[in-house]
Amino acid sequence: MREPEDQDTRPTNVTETLVASGAVMPGALRAPGTAHTAAPGTARAGWSADRAVTELYSLHYKALVRLATLLVRDTPTAEEVVQDAFVAMHDGWQRLRDAENALAYLRQAVVNRSRSVLRHRTVVDRNMQQAPPDMPSAEHGAFILLERSAVVAALRGLPGRQREAIVLRYYGGLSEAEIAAVMDISRGAVKSHTARAMAALRVALEQELW
Amino acid sequence: MVIPGHGSGGGKGREFAEFVRRELHRVADQVGPGADGLERIREKIRSRPAHESPLAAAWLAVSGFLAGRVRRRPSGGGQHTVPAPGVTPAPREAQRTPKRPQGWRGAILRPAVAVGVAAFAVGLVLVAVPPVRQEIVQLTKHGASAVTGSGGASAQGQGSHVRSSDGGVSQPSSVTSPTPVARSSPTTSQAATRTASEAASPNATHGGSSSPSPSVTPSPGVTPSPTNGRHRHRRRRPRPGASVSPTSSHGTKIGRPGVG
C-alpha cells in the first residue's frame, strides 16, 4: 500500500500513473479481488450509461459503501447514499463519458450526500430531544458495531471536514490533490484538516486509553 | 490497545498514521453491503420519470425552464410564492429577490426624486454656509441691479409727471431727483443732500403738498431697487464707531455688528 505522504509526488512508473489517473483505485476504493490495473473497458468513453453503472458498481460499490459508512456511521444509510450517487452518475453520464471522471464524480457525490445526511441528522436530533431516553433509535444498533473501535469513536468527535479528510486519506488512500477535488477545497486546506485531525485523534486516543 | 508511536522517537507520526489506517480498514471491512445494490440502483433509475423517454425529459426541461421564468417574475402586491407540497421552504434571505421598478413610473420617479433630494441638499448647504450665502446674495443683487439699471436707462425721459396739488407739474423724477447721487456717496453731508433735494424738487420739500416726494416715491428711473430705499433708513441709524462704507448701501454688511 502506498504511503499517503508519498502521493503528492509525481508518479514515475506505469502503475503509479494509472493510480494517479484514477484508473486504478488505491487503498480501499479499489475493489477487492480485482487486478491493480484498470478493468477492461474501464477507461473507455463508449459505454452506455447502464453499462457504466454496472461496471463501476462491480468495481467500487462495496468500497464506496464502506467509505460512506465511516462518514455517516450507518450502513443502510450509506448504501442509500451510494445508490443515489450511482443514479446521479447515470443521469450525468453524457457529461462524464469516462470511467475516470465517473469515479471522481461518485466519490464527490458520496461525500456531499454524506454531509447532507449528517446535517439532516443533526436537525432531527435537535428536534427530537424530548424523546424518551430509554427508546434506542433504529440506527443505534448500527452504530454499536462501529463505535467499538476507539479510532472510529474518536473520529466521531472530529469536525466534519477533518473526519472526511482522515477517511479519504487513510481509508480511501487518496492523495491530497484528489481529496482537495473531492472536498472542493485547496490542498493547503487538506493538509491543515489532516494535521489537525491527526493531532486531535492522538489526544482523544490517549485520553481514552490512559 | 497500544497507540503506536507513543513515546517513541522518529517516525512517530508515520506509525500513528499507519495505526489509524489499519484501524479504519479493520472496522470498514466488517461492513458488508447488501447484494441487491445493483438491482436497487436500476430500480431507482427506472422509477425516475424524467428518463422514461427523451420526450418526457425534454418536456420536463422545458417546463422547468418556464417555471423558473415565471418564478423570477415579480409577484404583485407583495405576495409570496407558495412552495410546492413536500418542499421545505427556503429561508427568508434566500427568498428575497432583487427589487425592480414596477414600470416606467417607478423607473422615472425614483431617479427624479433622487435628483430633487440631491438638489435640495446642495441648496441647503449653500444657504447654511454664511460666506456662500453672502456671495449668492451679492451675485443676485448685482444681477438684479444690472437688469433694473438697463430698464431705467431705457425708461429715461419717460418719467412720470406727477401733478401737484397747486396745478403745477413736477419734473420727472428721473431728471430731478438727486437721491441716487446722495445715496451712492454716503459720506456726503446731510446739508448737501438737503440742498440738492431742495434744488431738485422744491415742491416736495418745502411746499408741504400732498404730492408724493420723488425721493419717497419709488421710481424705476431713480431708485435702482426698492430694497435700497428700504435700507436707506437703516443705514442712517447712528451706530457708534461704524463708518459707512460704500458696500453698506447694498445691505450686505448692515446687520453684522462690529463691521469696519
B141-164 per-position pLDDT tens digit: 887 776 665 444 444 444 444 444
Q: A171, B44: Cβ pair inside 8 Å?
A: no
Q: Confidence band (pLDDT; 50, 70, 90) for B203?
A: very low
- A164/B221: higher pLDDT: A164
Q: Confidence band (pLDDT; 50, 70, 90) for B78?
A: very low
pLDDT at B3 over 90: no
State whether residue B23 sits within 8 Å of chain A by CB.
Answer: yes
Give me the percent of chain B exceeding a pLDDT of 70: 33
Q: B3, A67: Cβ pair inside 8 Å?
A: no
What's chain B's average pLDDT?
59
Q: B21, A171: Cβ pair inside 8 Å?
A: yes
pLDDT at A198 over 90: yes
pLDDT at B87 over 80: no
Residues of A in contact with B31 (CB under 8 A): 65-66, 69, 75, 78, 145
Q: Confidence band (pLDDT; 50, 70, 90) for A13?
A: very low
Give me the percent of chain A exceeding a pLDDT of 90: 38
**Which of A42-51, B6-15, B109-118 has the highest mean predicted lDDT (pLDDT)?**
B109-118
pLDDT at A190 over 90: yes
Over residues A103-133, the pLDDT tens digits come to 899 999 999 999 999 999 888 888 776 655 5
The grid cell for B74 is 415579480
Residues of B in contact with A152 (CB under 8 A): 23-24, 27
For residue A47, what pLDDT is reported?
Answer: 76
Q: Confidence band (pLDDT; 50, 70, 90) for A197?
A: very high
For residue B221, what pLDDT is reported?
Answer: 43
| Range B173-193 average pLDDT | 43
For residue B230, what pLDDT is reported?
Answer: 46
DSSP, collapsed to helix, strand or coil, labels residue A33 as coil
Q: B16, A62: Cβ pair inside 8 Å?
A: no
Q: B21, A70: Cβ pair inside 8 Å?
A: no
- B13/A134: higher pLDDT: B13
| Range A137-146 average pLDDT | 52
What's chain A's average pLDDT?
75
CB within 8 Å of B169: residues ≥ 6 apart: B161, B162, B163
pTM beyond 0.80: no
| Range A137-156 average pLDDT | 67
Q: B41, A62: Cβ pair inside 8 Å?
A: no
Dist. CA A89–CA A108, nearest whole Å: 11
CB within 8 Å of A131: residues ≥ 6 apart: none
The Cβ of residue B56 has, within 10 Å, a number of other Cβ atoms equal to 13
DSSP, collapsed to helix, strand or coil, labels residue A2 as coil
Q: B41, A166: Cβ pair inside 8 Å?
A: no
CB within 8 Å of A179: residues ≥ 6 apart: A165, A168, A169, A190
Residues of A in contact with B44 (CB under 8 A): 83-84, 87
Residues of A in contact with B35 (CB under 8 A): none
Q: A87, B48: Cβ pair inside 8 Å?
A: yes
| Range B159-183 average pLDDT | 43
The one-letter amino acid code at A101 reads N
Chain A nearest-CA distance from B128, in A, is 57
For residue A205, give the nearest of B3, B25, B41 by CB distance.
B3
For residue A210, what pLDDT is reported?
Answer: 58
Nearest residue on chain A to B27, alpha-carbon basis? A146
DSSP, collapsed to helix, strand or coil, labels residue B65 as helix
Dist. CA A93–CA B247, nearest whole Å: 90
For residue A41, what pLDDT is reported?
Answer: 41
Chain B nearest-CA distance from A18, in A, is 22
In degrees and rounded to multiples of 5, residue B158 shows phi and psi of: -110, 25
Chain A nearest-CA distance from B118, in A, is 47
State whether residue B60 sits within 8 Å of chain A by CB.
Answer: no
For residue B153, what pLDDT is reported?
Answer: 42
